[in-house]
Amino acid sequence: MQPADMNSVLKGFVTQPIHVQLGKQSSMEGVCVAPISNEMLLGHDLLRHFKALIDLRSNCIWINDESIPLNTTFRDKPVVAKVIMSKRTEVPQNSVVRVPCKLEEMLGAYNMEPVNNLQVLMPVIRVTKEDLVVCLENPSDQFKTITKMVVVGNAYEFEDVPEGGDQQVMSAGGIKKNNVADVHHSSITEHHRNPLSMPGAGSASQTREP
């Protein structure tokens, strides 16, 4: 993805085509998922496909003489928080350790991803409100030291999605979308429970060191 700044690039992915309905118009579209902390919809191609007109003064979208109201909301709490090491930790070569961490801000259930410059490997995990413990894997032949208060990841809070059927209806504008997956908000994923079972764990030849 290429943002407005020509020197900056976002790493994202495009889902398989899903059913999208905007007012009375419907289409099968691929959705681009990007690591953006603010709530927004990058839908320029979709709006152009529907030949939509955006009326900012009336806060609505016009499609074929149909007015679709827009919902503008602002959160009063953070949705992204830094994951910080609680203590200095040494990870021996070809091994995995479990270490406690803390969040910069309090969140509900969230998904945690490692930062790009981390010296060791760390799986993506889903966490509820319990204490945060992460796995650090060192597939190299050298000791790795992670100092206290270092940021090792970012936590992204989950959105509450109502259950029911193959499609979910958003309250704003009559926009419908398919569920990508039924997310189970478990405290920790299976590969986090048993990190040595991950493909390439403990093998420097199968895992690329960051």
- Higher local confidence (pLDDT), 152 or 37: 152
According to the model, what pLDDT value does residue 108 have? 79
Sequence-separated (6 or more) residues with CB below 8 Å from residue 118:
152, 153, 210
- Higher local confidence (pLDDT), 24 or 43: 24
Q: Please name which of 18, 20, 9 lies closest in space to residue 176, comparing C-alpha atoms.
A: 20
- Higher local confidence (pLDDT), 187 or 25: 25
Provide the β-strand partners of residue 97. 136
pTM (two decimals): 0.43
> What pLDDT digit, counting tens, does each position of 109-154 carry?
888 888 888 889 988 877 776 678 888 999 999 999 988 999 998 8
Domain range 80-158, CATH class: mainly beta
Is the pLDDT at 209 greater than 50? The verdict is no
> What pLDDT digit, counting tens, does each position of 11-20 carry?
777 788 888 7
> What pLDDT digit, counting tens, does each position of 63-100 carry?
888 888 877 665 565 578 889 998 999 999 999 999 98
The amino acid at 51: K
> What pLDDT digit, counting tens, does each position of 160-205 carry?
655 554 444 443 444 444 444 443 433 334 444 444 444 444 433 3
According to the model, what pLDDT value does residue 138 have? 92
Sequence-separated (6 or more) residues with CB below 8 Å from residue 57:
none
Structural domain boundaries in the chain: 13-74+165-178, 80-158
According to the model, what pLDDT value does residue 15 have? 80
